[in-house]
Amino acid sequence: MVTVAAARPFPYTFDPATTALLVIDMQRDFLEPGGFGESLGNDVGQLRRTIAPLTALLAGARAAGLTVVHTREGHLPDLSDCPPAKLNRGLPSKRIGDPGPKGRILVRGEYGHDIVDELTPLPGEPVVDKPGKGAFHATDLDALLAERNIHSLLVTGVTTEVCVHTTVREANDRGYECLVLADCVGSYFPEFHRVGLDMIAAQGGIFGWVADSTDVLAVLPTTPVLQPSS
Ligand code: C5J
């Protein structure tokens, strides 16, 4: 077991053998200049600042032998997995499935839907395609984690108040202990980011813990932990 003493609201203890690094929706359309997110007037720099610390954390997690799971938000090309309540939101000309600057918006298989080059998953690392904001909704994530005997999640990705928050809430309800890495999650809206993190750690850690990636890197083993069989 290792402990992140600087985590708030109190130290976070985890067993690297039963912990996964979850990388949520680090997709070109959310993060890259010229992508869908920027076309809506968002400052992608607010998200891009997560790439460098997340790259370092990924390297540390891989060296320690942690399970690494990536997610992508998006839909089948015929949009049959996108409920009307989601489809009918947003600017009329920039809805899910419409042509966007990097391919059809949030459609699987399109260039903009895929993960940014800096964080390309390694062969063997699961990539969970999710139709919702939460990574557990309508996916096999829970089964995949159970198969690997995972009980704790180091949570990273975008955006803090939407897909990260929804996923942490879902995970918390399912019994996972979640540590959210403040410098590895990002929002287009700095205020939402700050408050989103505060909400997670409030009330004695109502949804989980918050720390910086350097606090985790300082305690991660430098050689691979044995993966327990499920
Ligand atoms: C994510 C979104 N990934 N903001 N999506 O947070 O719509």
**First-to-final CA distance of the chain:** 18
The set of protein residues with a Cβ atom below 6 angstroms from ligand 1 is 25, 73, 158-159, 162-163
Task: Please determine, for residue 230, whether its predicted confidence score (pLDDT) is greater than 70.
Answer: no
The one-letter amino acid at 71: T
Reported as type and span, the H/E element at residue 124 is none
* pLDDT interval class at 227 (50, 70, 90): low
Q: Give the ligand 1 atom nearest the CA of 27.
A: 3
**For ligand 1, atom 5: residue with the closest CA:** 163
Which single residue is written with the structure tokens 């390297």?
59
The pLDDT assigned to 225 comes to: 87
**For all residues of the chain together, what is the average pLDDT?**
96
Ranking 29-38, 48-57, 92-101, 164-173 by mean pLDDT, the lowest is 92-101
The pLDDT assigned to 92 comes to: 77
The conformation of residue 56, written as its DSSP 8-state character, comes to H
The pLDDT assigned to 226 comes to: 67
Most ligand 1 atoms within 8 A of CB, residue of 22, 23, 26, 30 to mutate: 30
pTM of the model: 0.96
The pLDDT assigned to 93 comes to: 78
